């Protein structure tokens, strides 16, 4: 019985080692994957929501990298590991807030708010991205948390403004019909 358990445990570890790079790759490319997923979910709602998603996704990433990271000036951990060989050639040595966390959190929250459905795939992608960035020491927990908050704030702000604009348009259309 004990020998059988050790064989099963050994196979599970072997399976994990075989797919380890695959899972970390999902996390590393999480922000790109979440962009595609967010575009798809918002397209199912309406093409305007898809355009808004894409615009704010790109704009918020730009704000993060060009404004927030330079303003906050919190460096990345010094002993980070590279997932890809060229990953140590970084655009920013600053890691606060995490762009990966911000963009995947934005995509998850925007998609949830627009669809009203639980999005398990997007949530799993978010958590794999956070885990990969933390395990590879590309960010501290505080940097990941801050990036998540920035992404959620952008999502809520975007959905709030979009619904206010849609409501104003509906009021104007109703007034024109009278």
- The residues, any chain, with a CB within 8 Å of residue 93's CB and separated by 6 or more, are 75, 76
d(CA 171, CA 66): 38
pLDDT of residue 154: 92
Smallest CA-to-CA distance from 103 within 137, 48, 62 is with 62
Q: Is 144 in contact with 101 (CB distance < 8 Å)?
A: yes
pLDDT of residue 172: 66
Write the CA distances from 34 to 40, 47, 111, 114, 147, integer angstroms. 10, 17, 10, 15, 15
d(CA 57, CA 52): 8
pLDDT of residue 85: 46
174/37: higher pLDDT: 37
- Write the pLDDT tens digit of every residue in 10-40: 666 666 666 667 777 777 777 778 778 877 8
Residue 89 has pLDDT above 60, yes or no: no
Residue 65 has pLDDT above 50, yes or no: yes
In the chain, DSSP finds a helix count (H) and a strand count (E) of 7, 0
* Percent of the chain clearing pLDDT 70 (strictly above): 71
Least confident range from 10-14, 45-49, 87-91, 161-165: namely 87-91
Q: Is 107 in contact with 57 (CB distance < 8 Å)?
A: yes
- Write the pLDDT tens digit of every residue in 106-156: 988 988 888 877 778 888 888 888 888 888 788 888 889 999 999 999 999
Dihedral angle, C-alpha 107, 113, 118, 122, nearest 10 °: 0
14: buried, middle or exposed (CB in 10 Å: 19+, 13-18, 0-12)?
Answer: exposed
- The residues, any chain, with a CB within 8 Å of residue 31's CB and separated by 6 or more, are 61, 99, 100, 103, 104, 107, 129
pLDDT of residue 122: 80
Mean of pLDDT over the chain: 77
How many Cβ atoms from other residues are within 10 Å of residue 109's Cβ?
23
Confidence tier at 174 by pLDDT (50, 70, 90): low
């Amino acid at each position: 019985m004990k020998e059988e358990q050790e064989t099963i445990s050994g196979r599970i570890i072997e399976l994990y080692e075989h797919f380890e790079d695959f899972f970390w790759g999902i996390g590393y490319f999480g922000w790109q994957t979440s962009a595609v997923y967010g575009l798809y979910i918002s397209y199912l709602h309406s093409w305007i929501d898809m355009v808004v998603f894409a615009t704010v996704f790109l704009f918020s990433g730009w704000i993060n990298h060009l404004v927030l990271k330079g303003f906050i000036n919190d460096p990345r951990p010094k002993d980070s590991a590279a997932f890809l060989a060229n990953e140590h050639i970084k655009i920013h040595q600053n890691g606060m807030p995490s762009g990966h966390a911000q963009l995947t959190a934005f995509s998850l929250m925007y998609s949830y708010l627009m669809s009203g459905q639980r999005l398990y795939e997007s949530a799993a992608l978010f958590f794999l991205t956070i885990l990969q960035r933390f395990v590879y020491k590309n960010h501290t927990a505080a940097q990941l948390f801050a990036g998540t908050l920035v992404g959620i704030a952008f999502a809520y702000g975007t959905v709030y403004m979009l619904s206010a604009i849609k409501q104003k348009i509906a009021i104007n259309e109703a007034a024109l019909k009278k």
